[in-house]
Amino acid sequence: MGHGRWDADSWSRYAASHTVGRSAQEIFSTRAMEAEFDPAQITLRESRDSTDNPASTAVILASDVTGSMGKIAEVMIRSGLDTTMREIYARKPVSDPHIMVMAVGDAECDRAPLQVTQFEADVRLAEQLAGLWIEGGGGGNAGESYHLPWYFAATKTSIDCFEKRGKKGYLFTIGDEPILPGISRANLARVFGEVPWRGLTSADMLAMASRFYEVFHILLTRVGYANSRGDEVLASWRPLLGQRVISCDDHDRIAEVIVSTIEVAEGAEPSSVARSWSGSTAVTVANALRSMGGRGSRGPTRPARPFGGWPI
């Protein structure tokens, strides 16, 4: 016993402390990037087969944490990706999923444009999610550095699914803005801690990542930038990813959309995948999968090369 100090004053304080912005932030007191998530200080992230996970599959979820996403950025990292992670572990659209989460910003203006967790085979990943810093940056440069996860995946991950079994991992970026066309040599050096011989275009980095990963982008169409200028956003993405730009009209259904996308990429029928969800979720998933080319009974769409081979 001996707690019980909750009264009218407590409620006033509780209500007031919310309006002045006490939020999850107070518990998740991160105010700068933790060293363990700094890509410049990471040599290699590994996804390895083990007794418990004999057929591991690497899955990377990279979410935009810039200001244009507003409160959604935090919700996405703390809650959306948490749910997605649990959904993937539970529904296993691929064998033995090993999940890595990235927080993505803007290489041209942010202090921490990219943060990277470990690959994890279970919900221990949640602890790392709590440690990611929501910088809330981004700039007026009409785009974010969604290509940073591609570069990291290509140069600083080592995954058994591909190296031992020739099966690619999955890499999802999630956000509301156009993708910046590329990154300067100086910014590459700043973010990744190594000096490359030149800057790279987004297409370069996509090509690098696509050797080892099936790459998708989830475009949040009802959020921030995309909500007002959806066509402009889509125009920056389509030439790169074609059908692999997945439009998602409800950010609360991100988990289902990602799991469904993987299932379809693994050969499932889009219409039956959509039907496996209930109510409005089924509609959101069906809309999202539409771009993957599965209409009605048209065969499985394993869009490994949906728009011709990418340069390697």
The residues binding another protein (CB under 8 A) are 1-8, 11, 14-19, 22-24, 26-29, 75, 78-79, 82-83, 86, 123, 126, 129-130, 252-253
Return the number of the residue (58 or 125) whose C-beta is nearest another protein: 125
Give me the least distance between CB of 104 and another protein, in Å please.
19
Rg over alpha carbons for the chain, rounded to the nearest Å, is: 20
Return the number of the residue (123 or 286) whose C-beta is nearest another protein: 123
Residue 296's nearest CA partner among 277, 278, 269 is 269
Return the number of the residue (249 or 266) whose C-beta is nearest another protein: 249
Helix, strand and coil in the chain, % to nearest 5: 45, 15, 40
Give me the least distance between CB of 155 and another protein, in Å please.
30
Give me the least distance between CB of 170 and another protein, in Å please.
22
Strands 182-183 and 169-175: unpaired
Give me the least distance between CB of 9 and another protein, in Å please.
10
- Hey, how many other C-beta atoms are within 10 angstroms of the C-beta on 312? 7
Instruction: Tell me how far apart the alpha carbons of residues 132 and 215 are, in angstroms, rounded to a whole number.
Output: 23
Return the number of the residue (28 or 310) whose C-beta is nearest another protein: 28
Return the number of the residue (8 or 32) whose C-beta is nearest another protein: 8
Give me the least distance between CB of 82 and another protein, in Å please.
6
Instruction: Tell me how far apart the alpha carbons of residues 232 and 290 are, in angstroms, rounded to a whole number.
Output: 20
Residue for token pair 């995948």: 273
Instruction: Tell me how far apart the alpha carbons of residues 3 and 11 are, in angstroms, rounded to a whole number.
Output: 16
Give me the least distance between CB of 71 and another protein, in Å please.
10
Instruction: Tell me how far apart the alpha carbons of residues 152 and 225 are, in angstroms, rounded to a whole number.
Output: 25
Instruction: Tell me how far apart the alpha carbons of residues 290 and 137 are, in angstroms, rounded to a whole number.
Output: 32
Please state the φ and ψ torsions of residue 57, each to the nearest 5 degrees: -130, 125
Instruction: Tell me how far apart the alpha carbons of residues 100 and 153 are, in angstroms, rounded to a whole number.
Output: 10
Instruction: Tell me how far apart the alpha carbons of residues 70 and 220 are, in angstroms, rounded to a whole number.
Output: 13
Give me the least distance between CB of 161 and another protein, in Å please.
26
Please state the φ and ψ torsions of residue 267, each to the nearest 5 degrees: 115, 0
Give me the least distance between CB of 78 and another protein, in Å please.
5
Return the number of the residue (17 or 227) whose C-beta is nearest another protein: 17
Return the number of the residue (51 or 228) whose C-beta is nearest another protein: 51
Return the number of the residue (110 or 256) whose C-beta is nearest another protein: 256
